[in-house]
Amino acid sequence: MRTDRINSKAHHSRNSAAAAIAAAGLAFMSAAHGQTADENIVVAELFTSQSCNSCVSANEIFRDLVRSENVIGLAWHVDYWNMLQTSKGRWQDPYSSKENTERQRAYNRNIRGRTSVYTPQMVFNGESETIGSSREKISAAVNKSTTRRPIPLATVKAQNAIEVSIGKSDDGGNAYLISFLQETTTEIPRGENAGETLAELNVVTGLKKLGVVRKAGQTISVEFPPENQGCVILVQEPGQGRILGAQYCP
């Protein structure tokens, strides 16, 4: 059984998030979700599956990351675990897709020079990766990733759309709208995680290319995501390279 619901506090519970992160041994720089040109942001992409036993602990670490203030977290559920047959049967991840798996393969070709993939894997700003179940390695990767200044983005609500202003930069790129379930809970009856109830944040449900970003900067208008979903505006180098800027939708 699966339940999906929006959680308006998922990205703004600062005090509880700080305590959770400190307990986890993760030290992150502070930045509000409405970041400015002078603030760093880290995009942490978790490649995971509800059919993967080692992904359960990675999910807990990812939840801490999502609740920190300078990290934008996106969980992409891959499909290659869906055929795994265990003594407790097989479980097909309802959020998995071939497209998510292809995104992971592209990162591994670009970053590791390999076509092979593994879970749980976490990618940072499209330019580095580590195992998604190691708090120590993730902490080091996040803190290292905060050294780069992103393209400044600003988002505002405008009638039935979101107006996205992309600042000037020496880098061009592609702009995307990524929609996600802010919070979802799934009871797993079969497979490696049989009997587990997984509470997950920022589970990606869609990616839409908005267009090419010009170096002089521009404004893009996008539609609101469905009522029970959040979204991220992301600017990335062509070929799924470095992430140049990102911001949660208002």
pLDDT tens profile 49-90:
999 999 999 999 999 999 988 899 999 999 999 999 999 999
Rounded distance between C-alpha atoms, residue 218 and residue 210, angstroms = 12
Q: Would you list the domain boundaries of the chain?
A: 2-248
Residue 71: its pLDDT value, please? 93
Question: Which of 150, 146, 179, 168 shows the shortest CA–CA distance to 65?
Answer: 146
Structure tokens at 68: 């920190």
CA distance 232 to 42: 13
Task: Give the residue with greater pLDDT, 40 vs 101.
Answer: 101
pLDDT level of residue 221 (50, 70, 90 thresholds): confident
The model's pTM: 0.83
| 3-state SS, residue 132 | coil
Q: What is the mean pLDDT of residues 28-46?
A: 58
The rounded distance, in Å, linking the Cα atoms of 250 and 244 is 19
Contact (CB, 8 A) for 200 and 3: no
- 8 pLDDT exceeds 50? no
For residue 36, what pLDDT is reported? 41
Do you know the residue count of the chain?
250
In this model, does residue 32 exceed pLDDT 80? no
Largest Cα separation within the chain, whole Å, is: 57
The one-character DSSP state at 167 is -
**pLDDT bucket at 39, cuts 50 / 70 / 90:** low
pLDDT tens digits along 136-186: 999 999 988 865 557 778 888 877 788 888 877 777 788 899 999 999 999
**C-alpha atoms less than 13 angstroms from C-alpha of 159 in its C-beta half-sphere:** 2
Name the CATH architecture for the domain at 2-248.
Answer: 3-Layer(aba) Sandwich (3.40)
Instruction: Name 149's Cβ contacts closer than 8 Å, sequence gap at least 6.
Output: 37, 38, 40
What pLDDT digit, counting tens, does each position of 96-139 carry? 999 999 999 999 999 999 989 999 999 999 999 999 999 999 99
Task: Answer with the residue of higher pLDDT: 207 or 20.
Answer: 207
Output the pLDDT for position 149: 59
pLDDT at 222 over 60: yes
Q: Quickly state the pLDDT bin for 33 (edges 50, 70, 90).
A: very low
